[in-house]
Amino acid sequence: MSRELGIALIGCGKISNKHIHVLQQIEGGRLVTLFDEQAERAAAQAAKAPGAQVARSLEEALATPSVDLVTVCTPSGSHAQVAIAAAKAGKHVIVEKPLALSLDQADQMIDACDAAGVKLFVTKQNRYNRPVRAARRALEEGRLGEIFMGGVRVLWHRDQQYYDAADWRGTWAQDGGVCTNQASHHIDLLLWFMGDVVSVYASGSTVMHDIETEDTATVLMRFRHGAAATVQATTCAQPRDLEGSIALFGTRGTIEIGGFAANQLRTWMFAEPQPADETVWDEWGTNPDEFAYNHKEFYRDVLGTIASNRRALIDGIEGRRSLEVIHAIYESMETGREVTLRFEPRRCRLGAPTAREET
């Protein structure tokens, strides 16, 4: 039996609640230490994790001998700095989405982990949703045929208070907009099901919020094998969240997954039905009614990957794929033109320092 891995949690904001909850239940991993630049916030979160200590600095957390794996939940703009430091300390690394903000940062993170011989994981927990897993299995079995069209809709509600809660939210240098923050999970799913993107054409605007970045976007993607997909994303849905969905249309079948975060099966139809199709709704139609269920499944996979030394489902390379597409989306928004991949960002502002930071 493999030993239990010690885990350090860096960054104790809202998303850390899911990680802490899961780490109190998961086998094979134990939360050892926490660090946040706001010490009182780290102390409050440590109270939820019996036995976990609060580190006085990032360096102290990374130097803890019992730490094998570092989970990075800091603002997106600091993911690279923390992840690279963790890799140099010889720790495996989990990074909350997105992997980084700039492609250069992503490459530096991947290189640092490769050089240190440690694994890099990106938290894309929606891949572990039960309907998504069923859809992926159907794809691999050829039941969908060739996917010729897809689409995601991320129609969520975020009020101004959400953005005002932290000064980094809604900024180009530290966060990005709806495409980077909310829709990045769904863009990742499109790539996972439909393959490599060859071009994007995007339009974005700031409709309702006092932020630097876009709160509404429409994107057309074209894929290497000739398929196309659309992305509709907004944080302006009124008066509450509507859906986070993905639809896949193939030459032999159709699958739609809806719910708040692609967690409820909506359509399951195939040209060649199978007896198991009658039971898929009960077994795979929705996630269990359990807080942070897909984060738990993600951690199980991470711990199993480290124990068996296999390639991760969502490693740094996979995280970079969707980040490059997001950069192309922003490049298209800035230029008003279709952007082909691979490309070198020229006008994309994501991850760029603000004028205030440059002075």
Q: 127-287+321-340 in CATH: which number?
A: 3.30.360.10
SS (H, E, C) the chain: CCCCEEEEEECCCCCHHHHHHHHCCCCCEEEEEEECCCHHHHHHHHCCCCCCEECCCHHHHHHCCCCCEEEECCCHHHHHHHHHHHHHCCCEEEEECCCCCCHHHHHHHHHHHHHHCCCEEEECHHHHCHHHHHHHHHHHCCCCCCEEEEEEEEECECCHHHHHCCCCCCCCCCCCCHHHHCCHHHHHHHHHHHCCEEEEEEEEECCCCCCCCCCEEEEEEEECCCCEEEEEEECECCCCCCEEEEEEEECCEEEEEECCCCCEEEEEEECCCCHHHHCHHHHHCECCCCCCHHHHHHHHHHHHHHHHCCCCCCEHHHHHHHHHHHHHHHHHHHHCCCEECCCCCCCCCCCCCCHHHHC
pLDDT score at 342 = 78
pLDDT score at 351 = 84
Is the pLDDT assigned to residue 359 strictly greater than 50? no
At 174-212, the pLDDT tens digits run: 999 999 999 999 999 999 999 999 999 999 999 999 999
Residue span(s) of the chain under CATH 3.30.360.10 come to 127-287+321-340
228-237, 260-269, 309-318, 341-350: lowest mean pLDDT where? 341-350
Residue span(s) of the chain under CATH 3.40.50.720 come to 5-125+296-314
- Give me the torsion for CA of 174, 176, 178, 184, rounded to 10°: -90
Query: How large is the average pLDDT for residues 281-287?
Result: 96
Peptide bond into 98 cis (omega under 30): yes
Percent share of the chain, pLDDT over 70: 98
Buried b (16+ CB within 10 A) or exposed e, 339-354: bebeeebeebbbbeee
At 75-111, the pLDDT tens digits run: 999 999 999 999 999 999 999 999 999 999 999 999 9
At 231-252, the pLDDT tens digits run: 999 999 999 999 999 999 999 9
CATH topology (fold) of 5-125+296-314: Rossmann fold (3.40.50)
Give the confidence band of 335 by pLDDT, cuts at 50, 70, 90. very high
What is the C-alpha separation between 229 and 194, in angstroms, rounded?
9
pLDDT score at 1 = 41
Report residue 290 as tokens.
């359990």
Give the confidence band of 302 by pLDDT, cuts at 50, 70, 90. very high
